[in-house]
């Protein structure tokens, strides 16, 4: 019988997780089903528990439910606890287990292009996506990690939560940087993050956690327009999925061919994360 997996989030219609997990399953001869579940604000916890009651083996969680998934779980990995958010759930010994594979997925994809060690790093945004990758960045020993956020109160809250970082308002950032990461949700809304020009003066490598299939995000276009090398977050999406697959099946799939397939064969859709 096929094992049952799914991703829950809202919106969910354009999620690529079913395609990615089916590609991985084919590689290693595992038979599975992988559904998309539209999470509802009022019933998310019930939806998760129903999924596992009806033979669910593993559940990915995406925006905006990662923090609620973390709170629900009875057993969380160390990296999941540090992020305060979960994207991978499964049952073990009758307990709901949770992990967060976003950070490792981000670092694995980033390392295709640049290492973080001794780099001056600027991260834009202080929301859930930023929280998920801040420890994985710090563990890779940057020379400095500056967080810049549009809203001062959120930058201050982030500073309290992560004292190893330096949090400032977006217009106060002082460059140059080696690496600039866009962890805002601006691309999802089709908006643009305006940065002081000095931030980009050293032609930093630019990474946008959001992606658009067959089309560059506004941040990637902006960075390339300034002569910087820039990539979107599709590689991170595939890498975090691979780590979830490993947790559930005990086998690490190949990611390059799946990433290539997604980059070349999909129709353009709206910006996603
Ligand atoms: P996510 O889980 O996607 O990170 P979030 O927790 O709502 O979503 O956080 C969104 C982040 O993107 C915030 O840091 C937000 O900045 P504010 O705190 O000022 O709201 C940032 N953001 C969204 N749109 C932005 C824009 N157009 N310019 C700059 N920052 C933006």
Q: Which of 63, 21, 73 is nearest to 38 (CA)?
A: 63
Tell me the best of 69, 147, 185 to mutate to test the pocket of ligand 1, counting ligand atoms within 8 Å of each CB and taking the most: 185
Residue nearest to atom 27 of ligand 1 (CA): 186
Token pair of 103, please? 């950070």
Which among 26, 36, 38, 66 is annotated as catalytic?
A: 66
**In the prediction, which pLDDT does 272 show?**
59
Least confident piece of the model among 42-46, 173-177, 206-210: 173-177
Instruction: Calculate how far, in angstroms, residue 186's C-alpha sits from the geometric centre of ligand 1.
Output: 6
Cβ atoms 178, 204 nearer than 8 A = yes
Instruction: Calculate how far, in angstroms, residue 182's C-alpha sits from the geometric centre of ligand 1.
Output: 10
Q: Which domains does the chain have, with CATH numbers?
A: 3-101+235-266 (3.40.50.10860), 114-228 (3.40.50.720)
**In the prediction, which pLDDT does 201 show?**
92
Instruction: Calculate how far, in angstroms, residue 234's C-alpha sits from the geometric centre of ligand 1.
Output: 19
pLDDT tens sequence across 84-108: 999 999 999 999 999 999 999 999 9
**In the prediction, which pLDDT does 267 show?**
53
Q: Starting from the edge strand earliest in sequence, which strands make up the sheet with 3-9, in order?
A: 32-38, 3-9, 56-61, 88-92, 95-99, 75-76
pLDDT tens sequence across 75-84: 999 999 999 9
Tell me the best of 83, 123, 125 to mutate to test the pocket of ligand 1, counting ligand atoms within 8 Å of each CB and taking the most: 125
Question: Which residues lie with the beta carbon below 6 Å from any ligand 1 atom?
Answer: 63, 125-130, 149-151, 154, 184-186, 191, 193
**pTM for the full predicted model:** 0.93
CB atoms within 10 A of CB 54: 8
pLDDT tens sequence across 160-195: 999 999 999 998 998 899 999 999 988 877 788 888
**In the prediction, which pLDDT does 77 show?**
97
Q: What are phi and psi of 16, to 5 degrees?
A: -95, 0
Closest ligand 1 atom to residue 186 Cα is 24
User: Is residue 66 annotated as a catalytic residue, yes or no?
Assistant: yes
**In the prediction, which pLDDT does 273 show?**
61
How far, rounded to the nearest angstrom, does the alpha carbon of residue 20 sit from its chain's CA centroid?
15
Binding-site residue ranges: 15-17, 62, 87, 102, 125-129, 149-154, 209, 211, 233, 240
Closest ligand 1 atom to residue 189 Cα is 24
Burial of 115 from C-beta contacts in 10 A (0-12 / 13-18 / 19+) = middle
| Cα–Cα distance for residue pair 241/16, rounded to 1 Å | 10
Binding-site residue ranges for NADP(+): 125-129, 149-154, 209, 233
């Amino acid at each position: 019988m096929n094992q049952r997996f799914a991703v829950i989030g809202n919106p969910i219609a354009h999620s690529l997780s079913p395609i990615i997990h089916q590609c991985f399953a084919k590689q290693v001869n595992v038979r599975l089903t992988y559904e998309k579940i539209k999470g509802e604000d009022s019933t998310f916890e019930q939806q998760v528990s129903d999924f596992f009651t009806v033979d669910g083996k593993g559940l990915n969680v995406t925006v905006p439910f990662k923090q609620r998934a973390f709170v629900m779980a009875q057993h969380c990995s160390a990296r999941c606890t540090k992020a305060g958010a979960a994207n991978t759930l499964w049952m073990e010994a009758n307990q709901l287990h949770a992990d967060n594979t976003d950070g490792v997925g981000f670092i694995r994809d980033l390392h295709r292009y640049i290492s973080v060690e001794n780099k001056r790093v600027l991260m834009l945004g202080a929301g859930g996506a930023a929280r998920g990758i801040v420890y994985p960045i710090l563990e890779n020993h940057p020379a400095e990690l500056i967080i810049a956020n549009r809203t001062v109160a959120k930058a201050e809250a982030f500073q309290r939560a992560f004292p190893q970082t330096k949090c400032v308002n977006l217009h106060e950032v002082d460059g140059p940087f080696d690496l600039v990461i866009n962890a805002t949700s601006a691309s999802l809304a089709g908006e643009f993050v305006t940065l002081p020009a000095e931030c980009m003066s050293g032609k930093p490598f630019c990474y946008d956690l959001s992606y658009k299939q067959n089309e560059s995000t506004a941040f990637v276009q902006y960075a390339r327009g300034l002569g910087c090398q820039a990539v979107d977050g599709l590689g991170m999406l595939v890498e975090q999925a691979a780590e979830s697959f490993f947790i559930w099946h005990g086998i690490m799939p190949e990611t390059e061919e799946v990433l290539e397939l997604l980059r070349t064969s999909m129709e353009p859709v709206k910006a996603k994360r």
